[in-house]
Amino acid sequence: MNPAKILFFDVDGTLFDSTKTIPQSAKDALMKARANGYEIAIATGRGPFMIAPLLEELAIDTYVTFNGQYVVYKGEVVYTNQVEKSILHEIVTFGASRGEHAVFLDENQMVASVTGEPKLEEALATLKFPYPTVDATYYLKNPVYQTLVFIEEAQENLYKEKFPSVQFVRWHPYSCDILPQQGSKAVGIDKLLARLDYTREDAIAFGDGLNDIEMLSTVGVSVAMGNGHEKAKAVATHIAPHVDDDGLAKVMKQLHLL
């Protein structure tokens, strides 16, 4: 057995294949790893409500969601973080003046700032989610753990220069996550490891995207999927085959987790 104690899995492009389903080989691998004594956790940019069917299917109750902004251990919320409302208000107001809109997320739902935005609809469709309910002031009245701003890459630097106190992390050609400047999956994982009295060397992380870079750079052993972004691969200690080629199961066997 590998000496690690806990395994963190990204969802899209890591657990989920290109059809947004979990290959049976990956499901079997997670069950075998759990039987071998490893704790299984999710580390995703999605919110808890977005992965509820996955959590139920895999019997997982420990997760780092919203790129580290909402962390749960065995059903207990152990850490939350948010962009300050005043800063978020500036970003949302600036975007609206340019015809660029947002979606706000808490642990239970997502809410759009405007109706009928094609870029919003197209991006969320890749996550298999319909157009959200609409409330342009939702973020002022409720906790918001992640906000999506619907801008193309050409506009990204403008936002980064104007709002240096937050991060803009791209996950779709039409959309970026807005995170606190120091927020990341790595921060959420550190909070969870501290709760368990584990070290970073006790953790293995699996991911594929730009929002996985800090996580893959932080833990003792890290795996980037063969289908992953080149920048994620560059910081990982191991490269798995493509997720559609049973890559997760194959690399878990290689790491002696099964």
Q: Are residues 172 and 201 in the same domain?
A: no
Q: Are residues 94 and 171 in the same domain?
A: yes
Distance CA 163, CA 56 (A): 38
Q: Are residues 24 and 44 in the same domain?
A: yes
Q: What pLDDT sits at residue 169?
A: 85
Q: Could you tell me if residue 12 is inside a domain?
A: yes
CB proximity list for 100: less than 8 A, separation 6 or greater: 149, 150, 151, 155
- Residue 51 near residue 44, CB atoms below 8 Å: yes
Band of the pLDDT at 182, cuts 50, 70, 90? confident
Across the range 83-96, mean pLDDT stands at 95
Q: Are residues 112 and 233 in the same domain?
A: no
- Residue 257 near residue 2, CB atoms below 8 Å: yes
Q: What pLDDT sits at residue 2?
A: 78
CATH number for position 110:
3.30.1240.10
Q: What pLDDT sits at residue 80?
A: 95
Band of the pLDDT at 171, cuts 50, 70, 90? confident
Nearest one of 4, 10, 33 to 198, comparing CA atoms: 4
Report the number of distinct structural domains present in the chain. Answer: 2
For 100-149, the pLDDT digits (tens) are: 999 999 999 999 999 998 988 998 888 888 999 999 999 999 999 999 99
Which range of residues forms the domain containing residue 119?
85-180
Boundary of a domain, candidates 180, 206, 221: 180
Angle at 68 (CA atoms; ends 164, 253), nearest 5 degrees: 130
Q: Are residues 196 and 170 in the same domain?
A: no
Q: Looking at the annotation, which residues are catalytic?
A: 10
For 152-170, the pLDDT digits (tens) are: 999 999 999 999 999 898 8
| Dihedral sign of CA atoms 158, 163, 164, 167 in order | negative
Q: Are residues 139 and 223 in the same domain?
A: no
For 7-63, the pLDDT digits (tens) are: 999 999 999 999 889 999 999 999 999 999 999 999 998 999 989 999 999 999 999
pTM, rounded to two decimals = 0.86
Nearest one of 212, 230, 201 to 169, comparing CA atoms: 212
Band of the pLDDT at 210, cuts 50, 70, 90? confident
- Residue 132 near residue 110, CB atoms below 8 Å: yes
Q: Are residues 174 and 225 in the same domain?
A: no
Q: What pLDDT sits at residue 255?
A: 96
Average pLDDT, the chain: 93
The residue length of the chain stands at: 258
CATH number for position 249:
3.40.50.1000
Residues of the chain with pLDDT > 90, as a percent, come to 83
Distance CA 148, CA 142 (A): 16
Boundary of a domain, candidates 154, 180, 206: 180
- Kindly state the helix (H) or strand (E) to which residue 70 belongs, with its residue range: strand 70-73
Q: DSSP letter string over 176-202?
A: EEEEETT--HHHHHHHHHHHHT--GGG
Q: What pLDDT sits at residue 170?
A: 87
Q: Are residues 70 and 142 in the same domain?
A: no
Nearest one of 221, 219, 222, 223 to 200, comparing CA atoms: 219
Q: Could you tell me if residue 1 is inside a domain?
A: no
Q: Are residues 66 and 190 in the same domain?
A: yes
pLDDT > 80? residue 1: no
Q: Could you tell me if residue 38 is inside a domain?
A: yes
Distance CA 213, CA 77 (A): 24
